[in-house]
Amino acid sequence: MAEEPKKGDAVGSGVGGREAEEEQVVNPWEVTAKDGGKIDYDKLIEKFGCQRLEESLVRRVERLTGRPAHVFLRRGVFFAHRDFNEILDVYERGEKFYLYTGRGPSSEALHFGHLVPFMFTKYLQDAFKVPLVIQLTDDEKCMWKNLTVEESKRLARENAKDIIACGFDITRTFIFSDFNYVGGAFYENMVKVAKCVTFNKVVGIFGFTNEDHIGKISFPPVQAVPSFPSSFPHLFSGKDNLRCLIPCAIDQDPYFRMTRDVAPRIGYQKPALIESSFFPALQGETGKMSASDPNSAIYVTDSSKGIKNKVNRYAFSGGQDSIENHRKYGANLEVDIPVKYLGFFLEDDAELDHIRKEYGAGRMLTGEVKKRLIEVLSELVERHQRARAAVTDEMVDAFMAVRPLPHMFS
């Protein structure tokens, strides 16, 4: 069942790891731009070998689902893909697929950068009415963050509550932590993948060094195999050819470039991906929000007062250094973080266009834009906190129970 690798599926090229020091670094653990500049997404597409998400695919999603495209699709937040067109072909033929996404639990609560893929995945689940598996890689964070096993498992459950609060359908959703679930068919698939990836290849993909412990080097198959339906016999027994779609940020691409290279060699379908840009830090677009710097991010646990303080104090502005100059020259929208955040979370396209036009022309001031952003973010956080408060330990247990999904494809 082997097939020729598609463009960008070849492994060992080193594009996921650290290349020459002058290049931007984008991998699952580090995102930095050259000389403190912006991430070059065109270069990422070229080097990773994925495809840009064209407007025609967005329109096709609307036609097939009968609903407007999510704001993240309309505005290019999800901007790249691998075989997303084939997933739409599958759906149009009346066949099924499933979704897979995940979270590495390394902090007590999620920030907005963490929320982006889950908000979009919920839209995909609702629009296509398909099952979803969510992996909590507590084992990964135990190895990378030097957390204890017990603390990693505790954070996984806390993060699961924030994920559940996004509104996923329990009748179509299975959440699992690696520490609790790995074994059986899942582990069998891990071994199949591991036998296909040499040490040289995994170093080339992920940039591991001789100083990295063997746990890190052996981890990639764990994140690979949820893309194979046979890893979940309680969900997909007899459906080994079911296609998988993975919504994720583009820094996770190295894992799935490896997976797509291996899949046909062990008799499985390649997973498809739809990939997002990074939600920038408050201080600017040199990378992504970081849980290690609380002032770089807005957390779902922040108060309205805290959000106001962070936005006013830390959100990098493209406005001019004086009102006179601002009225004369207008704001630089390319670097303005409040406008970029509104591009993610302000639903009204007309209002966003108005803000961009007026602010860019200098007729709207930075303080006015930040005020509107504070309102939008505060509303989102307050809504999330209400939903999160309603999530009980029993609900977490129910989402993580190994059981059939009653309305998996209905």
Given a cut of 50, is residue 377 above it in pLDDT?
yes
DSSP 325-371: HHHHH---TTT-HHHHHHHHH---HHHHHHHHHHHHTTSS-HHHHHH
Given a cut of 70, is residue 11 above it in pLDDT?
no
Whole-prediction pTM: 0.93
Q: Which residues contact 325 (CB under 8 A, 6 or more apart)?
A: none
Given a cut of 60, is residue 19 above it in pLDDT?
no
Q: How confident is the model at residue 399 (pLDDT cuts 50, 70, 90)?
A: very high
How high is the pLDDT of residue 16?
45
Q: How confident is the model at residue 10 (pLDDT cuts 50, 70, 90)?
A: low
Given a cut of 60, is residue 97 above it in pLDDT?
yes
Distance CA 52, CA 42 (A): 9
Given a cut of 80, is residue 121 above it in pLDDT?
yes
Given a cut of 90, is residue 220 above it in pLDDT?
yes
How high is the pLDDT of residue 25?
84
Given a cut of 80, is residue 8 above it in pLDDT?
no
Mean pLDDT of the chain: 92
> Where would I find the H helices in 173-303?
178-181, 184-194, 199-206, 214-218, 220-224, 233-236, 253-262
129, 186, 207, 241 from 307: Cα distances, Å: 34, 41, 36, 46
**Digit-coded pLDDT (tens) for 259-295:** 999 999 999 999 999 999 999 989 887 655 566 677 7
How high is the pLDDT of residue 288?
59
Q: What percent of the chain has pLDDT over 70?
A: 92
How high is the pLDDT of residue 26?
85
How high is the pLDDT of residue 376?
98
